[in-house]
Amino acid sequence: MAGRPLRVLFVASECAPWVKTGGLADVVAALPPALAAEGLDVRVCLPFYRSIRREVGEAPACATVLGALVREALLPSGIRTYLIDAPWLFGRDGGPYQDDEGRDWPDNARRFGLFARIAATLASDETPLLWRPDVFHGHDWQAGLGPLWLKTALPGAAPSVMTIHNLAFQGLFAPEMVDALHLPPEVFAVEGAEFYGRLSFLKAGLHYADLLTTVSPTYAREIQEEAQGCGLHGLLTRRRDQLVGIVNGIDDRAWNPASDPLIRARYDRDRLAAKGIDKEAVQRRFELAVDPARPLFGLVGRLTWQKGIDLVAEVGDRLAGVGGQLVVLGTGERGLEDALRTLASRHRGAVAVRIGFDEGLAHEIEAGADAFLMPSRFEPCGLNQMYSQRYGTPPVARATGGLADTIRGVDPGGCEGSGFLFGEPTGGALWEAIERVLASYRNPSCWTRIMREGMGRDFSWTASARRYHALYDTLVAGP
């Protein structure tokens, strides 16, 4: 390795802008360029979904591994990407994990089992590529079997890092998949990949990887406790000396109100008046009453119990009753979608709900809202609270995971801070936080101070990339 940059292979199931279902895609798109700016040679390994084929066409093949072609393409950032082309597994319409009806693909174990095995092969002496990584960096359960293969079967294997983006998604499959995937039988054990009688891809990664990371220091502590450990708190507690929490950054070029092409008017912390133009644009687009004095709350994301969307539905009537407005953009659990639609039908002009996702609308809401709701029951890191602060839209969030690490809470009656935090995951606690927002909003000088503090914070990937760089150096240096 002397005389050349450290080589790192990112292994993940999604990467923006090619395929995205959540924040994982943003991380995999943004962290490699930040590491490259630190002097590392980083490449990304992804399944070659049909949706990616539509984006890049027939990317040139550079190798064949286990019957699948390994193709090469460049991300818009310039990062080189290896695309695992197994059309019998990935060449289908629908999402990366589910069909168009929202049902999990029945062969997900085979799909991501082969994907992780091929990616691990690329990080070993068996790679057919001229480029071999010094570090294998897997992300979430879809990459979880990679560290297992590197530890148990592949010669000259690179050391591995496994990052937990959300512990609740574990990749659990029937025990018969151990044989079907040709895994060494001894790995199906409590001290291995077995989880209450099932094969756990995520547990495999957490057990066999050399180092573990997750996406905020608070979440790293929370997942060692039973309440948020999802049954893996014992393993994570035993591995706490190899577990590090590193807060995600954001792409501060794409999320910059001073240059954002997706919003009506550009502004910065010294030119805040134009934000009112964005607010009016959102009110008109979503058919809300156009009134600059009414506080407008935004919410963009998955409409799920984890995200505390039931709490939003619970306080929605009260919010509309005191003159507030709410605009929601997202998809999720049918019952919560219906509850929000019903809320909107009761309060036309005050509440608007758009089921679906649109990147442009997400930017418009971040810019046009006065405050942003994130009442998550748990939140490993979260990105929207950082986007919101960047756009002068103070977040209203539960003090958990990365929300607690990235928001400086405003004290009751105070004007110092960048957002509003609350503790218990209840409608009452959320409403108390909203009341504090309304009190601050009615004091323009106080509200401006809160907006400006959030806009002045540094959420770039630079600091995170430096911490990962140091982690890789430690891993490659050995004991």
Answer left, alpha or beta for residue 321, where phi above 0 means left and psi between -120 and 50 means alpha: alpha
Residue 364, CA atoms < 13 Å, CB-side half-sphere: 19
pLDDT in tens, 320-364: 999 999 999 999 999 999 999 999 999 999 999 999 989 899 999
pLDDT in tens, 241-271: 999 999 999 988 889 999 999 999 999 999 9
User: Residue 237 — φ and ψ, nearest 5°?
Assistant: -65, -40
Residue whose pair of structure tokens reads 């502590």 in the numeric block: 221
Strand order of the sheet with strand 325-330? 351-355, 325-330, 296-300, 371-374, 395-398, 420-422
Q: Average pLDDT over the chain, rounded to whole?
A: 97
pLDDT band of residue 2 (cuts 50, 70, 90) is low
pLDDT band of residue 22 (cuts 50, 70, 90) is confident
The answer to whether the beta carbons of residues 65 and 31 sit under 8 Å apart is no
Answer left, alpha or beta for residue 105, where phi above 0 means left and psi between -120 and 50 means alpha: beta
Tokens of residue 475, six digits: 């891993």
pLDDT in tens, 131-162: 999 999 999 999 999 999 999 999 999 999 99
pLDDT of residue 251: 85
Which domains are delineated in the chain?
Answer: 7-249+461-477 (3.40.50.2000), 275-455 (3.40.50.2000)
Which residue, 106, 108, 49, 40, is CA-closest to 73?
Answer: 49
- Could you tell me where the DSSP H helices lie in 326-443? 334-346, 359-368, 384-390, 401-406, 427-441
pLDDT in tens, 88-134: 999 999 999 999 888 999 999 999 999 999 999 999 999 999 999 99
Q: Is the pLDDT of residue 1 over 70?
A: no
Report the SS3 class of residue 88: helix
